[in-house]
Amino acid sequence: MGPRREQLIFVRDFLRERAAIRVGAHLRRDPLARLHLEEGRRDPYPLYEDVRSRGPLVRSTIGAWTSVDHHVCNEILRSRSFGATGEDADHLAGSPQLSFLEMNPPDHTRLRRFALPTFSPKSVAAFAPSIQQVVDDLLDKTVGDEPFDLVGSLAAPMPIGVITRLLGVGDADADEFAHYGATFGSALGGLQSIKHAGELMRAQQALRRIFENAFEARRRDPGDDVISRLVSTEGSSVRPEEMVPLCTLLLIAGFETTVNLISNTILALLTHPDAWRRVAADPTLVEAAIEETLRWDPPVQRTARFALADATIAGHQVKKGEIVVTLLAGANRDPAVFAEPARFDLDRPNKSEHLAFSSGIHYCVGAPLARLEAIIAVRSLIARYPGLRVAGPVVRRQGSLIRGLTNFPVSRSFVAVPAG
Ligand code: HEM
């Protein structure tokens, strides 16, 4: 298919989808459709409760099944009858290509196996001093008495610094890399407009150029990073045309998610002052705060699966080719699994049963890295500013797939330490 025809099909599908969402949301009050509008961006949690009140698996007017039931979501994510892509799923111009995140076995297994060693708990632990260095350098810049933006000063640049080093993209390209990566990441929850699709295509081309330069550089001068491993095994486990999408997946997954885990955790703590005080007095509670944030307000709110065969789920017939949207953040508030699910509770015994990192064969490869980055960032921030306060209105990011902030003004009011 030529690029012009691809673009026309994209525009047609985009307009059709927007129309279906508006009709579903306004005329039919469909919670899945409403999730795509302002309401879902601001506060999706009442919409998840609406879905829950309709049953464990619900047919949406916008053509998909949906669920907030923990058991049902987990079953679908772990089932071999469902896949991350369907037989007829096709990539349209402008939609991000995210390598094995969107593949089924055997390609998924082959590419995931390539990525795993870099992100094993052992490899990640060895990276802790580097992460601490990135965090300390960023916090050193937050001097003075003026309020600062927690996202721009720490939560966003920190994971970018870490993933750039892990991938092996040279410092010279790092700023451009961050800029195009953010444009690309902004499209994860769906394109906002046709202009947005154009920006995305340009970002995709720019990232390809940066990665291809990095492949060249690492062929000449290999290091201890993902791109060096990629070029040294070229053609064996990863095909040449798979290299750019694989790097793009690691880049986007690496910096569009952890940024939100850090800011969502700090926001949860600052809006629950008792929890903040407890964590400030006892830094070993940072891990509990991060885990409870992953349950209570997770960065990735939903994912979807295609039925690869007819299946019976919660008494409903799901036909081959149909899509099920698993609302992970809704499942994390299932009262059958979590007592008083709407409460942010550091002492919750089973908080790690959340589905924030999904479940089954696509379970997040970067979970150990994300947890470690968040622990180091949150612990260092609280140690430096135990009297941190929200200093103005927060701004939420676009879309409702990824939940987080784009602006988070904070001020570091100093706590006087009593003498003696
Ligand atoms: C708080 C941070 C993060 C969250 C909440 C998160 C969440 C998720 C979720 C929900 C999935 C599965 C999606 C699905 O089932 O369709 C996923 C997959 C993935 N994540 Fe993460 N992620 C985070 C950080 C990271 C980091 C730091 C990396 C590494 C750079 C990473 C790399 C990946 C990869 C490669 C996959 C695809 C796994 C597969 O398809 O087998 N993630 N992540």
Q: Domain spans of the chain? A: 3-90+98-412
**Residue 79 clears pLDDT 70, i.e. is over it:** yes
What's the rounded mean pLDDT across residues 186-190? 72
Nearest-atom number in ligand 1 for the CA of 250 is 30
Using an 8 Å Cβ cutoff, are 331 and 69 in contact?
A: yes
The pLDDT-based confidence of 179 (bands split at 50, 70, 90) is confident
Question: Is 212 within 8 Å of 186 (Cβ atoms)?
Answer: no
Distance 366 CA to ligand 1 centre (A): 6
Residue nearest to atom 18 of ligand 1 (CA): 364
- Which numbered atom of ligand 1 lies nearest the CA of 294? 5
pLDDT at position 10 is 66
For ligand 1, atom 37, the nearest C-alpha belongs to 101
Give the pLDDT mean for 237-243.
91
Please write the tens of the pLDDT for every residue from 41-66: 999 999 999 999 999 999 998 889 99
pLDDT at 418 over 50: no
Architecture of the domain made up of 3-90+98-412: Orthogonal Bundle (1.10)
**So what's the pLDDT on residue 420?**
41
Write the DSSP assignment of 77-136 as a string of letters: HH-TTEESS-TT--PPTTSPP-GGGG--TTHHHHHHHHHHHHHSHHHHHHTHHHHHHHHH
Q: List the single range of 78-92, 125-139, 232-246 with lowest mean pLDDT.
A: 78-92
Q: Is the four-CA dihedral 168, 170, 174, 177 of positive or negative sign? A: negative
Banded pLDDT at 172 (limits 50, 70, 90): low
CA of 414 to the centre of ligand 1 (A): 37
Query: What pLDDT is recorded for position 175?
Result: 77
Q: Cis omega (within 30 of 0) on the bond before 298?
A: no
Q: Which of 12, 13, 10, 35 is nearest to 22 (CA)?
A: 35
Which residue, by CA, sits nearest to atom 22 of ligand 1?
364
What distance in Å separates the CA atoms of residue 393 and residue 105, rounded to the nearest whole number?
A: 45
- Please report the pLDDT score of residue 93 as a whole number: 47
CA of 41 to the centre of ligand 1 (A): 21
Q: Which helix (H) or strand (E) holds 38?
A: helix 38-42
* Cα separation values, 46 from 42, 64, 223, 324, Å: 11, 20, 49, 20
Q: What is the pLDDT of residue 3?
A: 63
Distance from the first to the final alpha carbon of the chain:
76
Q: What pLDDT, on the 0 to 100 scale, is given for residue 184? A: 79
pLDDT tens across 149-161, in order? Answer: 999 999 999 998 8
Which atom of ligand 1 lies at the shortest distance from residue 84's CA?
A: 16
Average pLDDT over the chain, rounded to whole? 90
Q: What is the pLDDT of residue 170?
A: 72
Q: What is the pLDDT of residue 283?
A: 96
pLDDT one-digit tens code per residue, 84-137:
998 765 554 455 678 999 999 999 999 999 999 999 999 999 999 999 999 999
Residues with CB under 6 A from ligand 1: 84, 100-101, 112, 115, 163, 249-250, 253-254, 257-258, 261, 298-300, 303, 356-358, 362, 364-366, 369-370
Residue among 257, 361, 402 whose CB has most ligand 1 atoms within 8 A, to mutate: 257
Residue 162 has pLDDT above 60, yes or no: yes
For range 177-193, the mean pLDDT: 76
pLDDT digits (tens, 9 = 90+) for 287-320: 999 999 999 999 999 999 999 999 999 999 999 9
Look-up of token digits 């008792």:
274
Question: CA–CA separation, 320 vs 225, rounded Å?
Answer: 41
Pocket test for ligand 1, best of 362, 364, 402, 403 (most atoms within 8 A of CB): 364
Closest atom of ligand 1 relative to the 101 alpha carbon: 40
